Amino acid sequence: MFDPSVTLCPGQHVCCVVNRAEERAYRIASWTREGFQAGERVVYIEPRGHGDAFLRCLDHHGVDWKGPARQGQLVVCTPGEAKLGRGSDQDRRVSEHAEFVEQSLKAGYAAVRMSVEARVVLAALRDIGALLAYESRLEELCSTRPVSVLCFYDRKAFGSHLKAAAGAHPHALVEGQVQAWTAPGRVWLRGEVDISNVELVGALLARAAAEGGELAVHLADLSFIDIAGTSQLIELARRLSPHEQLRIIDPPPQLPTILQVIGWHAPNLTVEEVAS
């Protein structure tokens, strides 16, 4: 069961992996509501012919969208209107996005938040490489302008590409079970890491470690980690060069048990318990 108390972080580029329709509906509705409340412009990209599924979802969750839609705060557009068709190249696509952001800010909105089903983008762009390139341009946009993007990924539709897709985002929320926030040299994990999400968590760890130096992994809000999750951390520590360091901070109780029982250690791994 997903944890409904998990909220998404505004101003971020989030990979949201969902496998239950109810969870997806809940996330998109609360994300939209938060956008309205924060005075942000909310953009949702939906293919034509979906019969307003998005708006019905907002109705179902009691989000009043009619006023914002009239005022132009809520924009529901097709992939074509969002320049996701094959006709436009990445530069043009992203510069149009940036232009839209500028207009929105001039119109008085605090920020722009955009949400899209990655499957829809994939269908428009036709290949996974183009999707990943688009994701990295979105990431640039999010880190330079007041923009947040929530990308829904359907596990079944992406299969083995899901790991690469997750690694294209600094933040991930996987099936309501684990949240990962990353910044260069830092990772925060919340929830539970197990076989169902360990690969994606590994992808985000690798992303945070990519710049080298010290990586601090903050686990105070993680309530469970299994052998596979611990092994991701150990493997990461073992790949570090001698002057680099992996710091595990405030791990859940399973982690020291696993390290001790399996006899795992690495020269540049430290486990720190911060007394609360």
Partner 1 sequence: MTLTTRLRPRQANAFRHEAFLYAGRSEFFAGTVSFIRDAVAADEPVLVVVTPAKIDLLRSGVGDVDSVFYADMGEVGRNPARIIPAWRDFVAEHAADGRRLRGIGEPIWPGRSAAELVECQRHERLLNVAFADGPPWWLMCPYDRQALEPEVIEEAQRSHPFVRQGGQEWESPAYGNGDADAAAFAGTLPEPPERPSELVFGTGQLDDLRRLITRRATSAGLDPVQTADLVLAVNEVATNSLRHGGGQGTVRMWQDGDRLICEVRDAGHIQRPLVGRERPSTDKVGDRGLWLVNQLCDLVQVRSSETGTVVRLHMWQS
What is the residue-wise DSSP string for 228-272? HHHHHHHHHHHHS-TT-EEEEES--THHHHHHHHHT---TTEEEE
In the complex, minimum distance from the CB of residue 106 to partner 1, in angstroms, rounded to a whole number: 45
Q: Which residues bind partner 1 (CB under 8 A)?
A: 1, 19, 175, 177, 192, 194-196, 224, 226-228, 231, 253-254, 257-258, 261-263
- What SS3 class is residue 222? strand
- Evaluate whether 65 touches 75 at the Cβ level (below 8 Å): no
SS3 content of the chain, % helix, strand, coil (to 5): 45, 25, 30
Whichever of 261 and 275 has its CB closer to partner 1, that residue is 261
Cβ proximity to partner 1, 35 vs 229, nearer residue? 229
CB nearer partner 1, residue 1 or residue 21: 1
**Torsion region of 152: left, alpha or beta (phi above 0 gives left; psi -120 to 50 gives alpha):** beta
CB of 271 to partner 1, least distance (A): 16
Residue 78 or 196: which CB sits closer to partner 1?
Answer: 196
Among residues 83, 78, 133, 73, the alpha carbon closest in space to that of 104 is found at 73
- Identity (one letter) of the amino acid at 161? H
The Cα 176–Cα 10 span in angstroms is 17
Q: How far is the CB of 218 from partner 1 (least distance, A)?
A: 20
- Tell me the one-letter amino acid at 143: S
Q: Given the complex with partner 1, which of 19 and 78 has the nearer CB atom?
A: 19
Shortest reach from residue 201's CB to partner 1, in Å: 14
- Alpha-helix runs per DSSP H in 78-179: 90-106, 118-125, 128-144, 155-158, 162-167
CB-nearer residue toward partner 1: 103 or 257: 257
| Shortest Cβ 128–partner 1 spacing (Å) | 23
**Cβ neighbours for 6, distance < 8 A, ≥ 6 positions apart:** 173, 176, 179, 190, 191
Amino acid found at 200 = L
Report the nearest approach of partner 1 to the CB of residue 17 (Å).
11
Least distance (Å) between residue 52 CB and partner 1: 30
Closer of 32 and 230 to partner 1 (Cβ): 230
The alpha carbon dihedral of 21, 25, 28, 34 has a sign of: negative
What is the pairing mode between strands 269-272 and 171-174?
unpaired
